[in-house]
Structure 1
Amino acid sequence: MSKSFDVVIAGGGAAGFFTAINIAEGNPKLKIAILERGKEVLSKVRISGGGRCNVTHACFIPNDLAKFYPRGERELKGPFNRFCSGDTIEWFERHGVELKIEEDGRMFPVTDSSQTIIDCFLNATANLGIQVLTGESIQNIYRAEDYWKIETQKEAYLSAKLVMTTGSNPKMWDMMRELGHTIVPPVPSLFTFNIKDPRIKDLMGISAVASVKVKGTKLNASGPLLITHWGMSGPGILRVSAWGARELFDKNYQFTLQVNWLNETGFEECEETLWDLKQNQPKKTVVKYCPFDFPNRLWHSLVNAAGISAEARWADVSKLQLLALVAQLINGEFKVNGKSTFKEEFVTAGGIELKEVNFKTMESKMQKDLYFAGEILNIDAITGGFNFQNAWTGGYIAAQSVLEEI
């Protein structure tokens, strides 16, 4: 015997809960179910932002916000004009969750705990009578005359509307392909670079604001660069990995990274600074006297890489050595050999082809009464709360569309 609902939401993550709650608040009489294949719901919310949940980002201008999305920038401008980060803050405050802005613009609950967001969603679904059904792995999805039939390994569900919020789930993508959708093949997006190089060996934890470029491409970014056990991470690296997701995949993650450790400082400016030092501070020891705001241990390593001894004074540095040091500082080349997942946050580029979705309603252009929100779409962003904002915006618009049509 099938169970009937007005709306079934496939996927018990951020986008799924947000969609369900907004639909139920708009029409409390609707019968709504969330189907989650796992034993727990909201598992990605739990681990995001190091367990603090990076809810959104303090970028309040829709067109500016859209620029943080390597895939989805053009499509999200309209949706962000309807539901942006300011609306997210207001929504959570209305539901008893106060958010705070950190220096880099990321926004977290004031409790610094993702459990606050999870409790907010679980309390809302309970109060609104939304059925949250776990351990429901979808096996088949059929379109009947005027309803959807969703079969799990336990049960069959009938629903007037179906909202897909299953994230980067290949099985669900295959089912959407059978319903006529094109799936852009998934590749990793946010990742760090594996680099073995004597210049950064034993410097784990050191950070510098740098600009980076993938040699032979247009891929570049600037921002804090963090040296890790396995190579390089930090916002600058993650930006390059996001924008270069497909290009770096095609390179099999084997490429040369060019690093300007002095960020925007040019070759000539750096050379001039070091030459002045040689002229005016000749008796100073090179390793002990760095003219830049720069981590000491990294300075020592780059001085050594330029062939300058630890005892050398600025007066002893030859022109060739000085130019070699400039090159290390401004255009250090590092061989990248593979990637690592950024913390536990696995983000993919790929999913439902965006041309096949109406971004005014989040409804499929291929199937009536089928909606999408979150990472099931070929949308992804850099780190900083942007992927969640996509989930909230898509979920809100899908909810409004369902309410208008049901």
Structure 2
Amino acid sequence: MNQNFDIIIVGGGAAGFFTAINIVEKNPKLKVAILERGTEVLNKVRISGGGRCNVTHACFEPNELVKFYPRGEKELRGPFHQFCSGDTIEWFEKHGVELKIEADGRMFPVSNSSQTIIDCFLKATQKLGIAVLTGQSVQSIFKKDTLWKVETQSENYLTEKLILATGSNPKVWEMLQNFRHAIVSPVPSLFTFNIKDSRIKELPGVAAQVTVKVKDTKLTSTGPLLITHWGMSGPAILKLSAWGARILHDKNYQFTIFVNWLNDADKEDVEKKLKELKQEHAKKSVSKKSPFELTNRLWESLVLASGIESETKWADLSKIQLQNLANQLTNGTFQVNGKSTFKEEFVTAGGIDLKEINFKTMESKLHENLYFAGEIVNIDAITGGFNFQNAWTSGFIVANAV
């Protein structure tokens, strides 16, 4: 027995639900189903943002917003002019969910719980009569005359229009390759760096505003860095991992970074400042108090790494020691040896080649009535609500198109 629907959406995540709700709100006559392989829907929404769901980011200018997407920057410009973060806020307000902006620009439900977003979606699908079918793992997809046939392990479905919102699901990508779609092979994005180094070993929890560069590449990033038990994390590192996803993968996650602990201070200027401190604080010991915007613990560690003993007075510093210290502060060299996944918010770079998608409709350029929403395509962003914004925007565009 085939079950017939006007539209089938594969994938019960953020993009799938948002697409389905927008379709039926625009055309209540359509019979729409969401197929989800797991027993629960919206799992990634539940755990995102530490269980609070980082819905979007308070960046309201499409041309600025695209800059947060290592892959998709060019392609998303048009879509964001159709549906941007401001539209997201309005959409959720209309559906009874108020959002708030935090200091770093991230936006969350006022309730501080991702359950609010999940309830909003589930209520809307019930109200609109959208069939949410769990435990439906898609085994194969066929084109049958003008219809799409979707086979799961227990059912067969027929539909006029098929929307894939399966995120980074290798099995679905494989099926698409049978339909001549090119898949950019997935590699991890958003990860932290594993670094074993005596300078940071005793400092987990210490943060600083830094500039980080990856040796022999053009990769550079500025922002807060957090020292952890296994190395380095924080926005500066995560940004680097997103923009460098392919490059760092090719280096097998073995590479050298340079850390400027004084943000973007120039080595010469720092050396000059240290010489002044040598005059001013002649009698004081160097390692006791940080003269820069660094924690005393980090300062002390960098002083020791410069070959300066803990009781040494400023007056007794040699020229070489001053140069060493300036170097540690502005150009510390660290060996990265492997990566760790950042929380459970695993994001991959990779997916359907962007050249094969019409970004006015999110329809496949190779097959009529086949659409894509969310992370299944080769688009990903840094952390801060941007990956969800891509899900909402692409879902909205698909809904308009169908």
**Is 1:77 the equivalent of 2:77?**
yes
Residue 202 of structure 1, CA deviation: 1.8
Which residue matches 1:302? 302
Q: How does 1:276-287 map to 2 (within 5 A)?
A: 276-287=276-287
* Partner in structure 2 of residue 151 of structure 1: 151
In the TM superposition, residue 37 of structure 1 has moved relative to its aligned partner by 0.2
Partner of 1:162: 162
Give 3-state SS (helix, strand or coil) of 1:47's partner.
Answer: helix
Asked if 1:343 is matched to 2:340, the reply is no
TM-score (norm 2): 0.99
The CA distance in 2 between the partners of 1:229 and 1:113, in whole Å, is 28
**Alpha-carbon distance between aligned partners in 1 of 2:227 and 2:95, rounded to the nearest angstrom:** 40
**Cα distance in 2 for residues equivalent to 1:215 and 1:160:** 51
1:207 aligns with 2:207: yes
Q: CA offsets, 1:274-309, max 9 Å, x none?
A: 110001110111112321111111111000100111
Rounded to whole Å, the distance in 2 between the matches of 1:334 and 1:130 is 53
**Matches for 1:33-182 after TM superposition, within 5 Å:** 33-182=33-182
Match of 2:68, SS state, is coil
Counterpart residue identity of residue 2, structure 2: S
Amino acid at match of 1:341: T
Does 64-73 or 282-291 show the bigger shift? 282-291
RMSD, aligned α-carbons: 0.6
- Tell me if 1:250 matches 2:250: yes
Supply the distance in 1 between the matched residues of 2:116 and 2:275 (Cα, whole angstroms).
56
1:387 equivalent to 2:384? Answer no
Amino acid in structure 1 at the alignment position of 2:221: A
The runs of 5 or more residues in structure 2 that have no matched partner are: none
Residues 24-72 of structure 1: CA distance to partner in whole angstroms, max 9, x if unpaired?
1001111100000001100000111111100000000001100100000
- Identity rate of aligned residues, in percent? 70
Secondary structure of the 1:371 match is strand
C-alpha contact (below 8 Å) 2:290/2:300 kept by paired residues: no
Match of 1:220 in 2: 220
Does residue 193 (structure 1) correspond to residue 193 (structure 2)? The answer is yes
TM-score between the two structures when normalised by the length of structure 1: 0.98
The 8 Å contact of residues 42 and 118 in structure 1, kept in 2 or not, is answered as yes
For residues 254-403 of structure 1, the aligned pairs below 5 Å read 254-402=254-402
Supply the distance in 2 between the matched residues of 1:284 and 1:149 (Cα, whole angstroms): 78
Q: In 1, Cα distance between the equivalents of 2:297 and 2:291?
A: 14
Task: Tell me how far apart the structure 2 counterparts of residues 156 and 366 of structure 1 sit (CA, whole Å).
Answer: 24
Letter in 1 for 2:39: K
8 Å CA contact retained: 1:273, 1:291: no
Are the counterparts in 2 of residues 192 and 232 from structure 1 also a CA contact under 8 Å?
A: yes
AA aligned opposite 1:125 = T
Q: Please give the per-residue CA displacement for 1:98-141, whole angstroms capped at 9, x wherever unaligned.
A: 11111111000011111010000001001110010000000010
Query: Take 2:296 and 2:281, find their aligned partners in 1: how far apart are those partners?
Result: 18
Distance 2:372 2:11 in 1: 11
Letter in 2 for 1:306: S
Distance in 2, matches of 1:207 and 1:112, equals: 25
CA distance in 1, matches of 2:202, 2:288: 19
Counterpart contact for 2:287–2:303, Cα < 8 Å:
yes
For the Cα contact (< 8 Å) 1:256–1:334, is it kept in 2?
yes
Q: Deviations over 1:189-247 (max 9, x none)?
A: 11000000000002111100100000111000000000011100000001110000000
CA shift, 1:272, in A, is 1.1
Which letter maps to 1:317? L
Distance in 2 separating the partners of 1:305 and 1:113 = 44
Q: State the distance in 1 between where 2:290 and 2:197 align.
A: 22
Aligned residue for 1:180, secondary structure, equals: coil
Letter in 2 for 1:282: A
Alpha-carbon separation, structure 2, partners of 1:342 and 1:270:
33
Aligned-residue offset at 1:316: 1.2
Q: Take 1:49 and 1:229, find their aligned partners in 2: how far apart are those partners?
A: 21
Whole-angstrom distance in 2 between the partners of 1:313 and 1:18:
64
Q: Which contiguous aligned blocks of 4+ residues in structure 1 show a shift greater than 4 angstroms? A: none
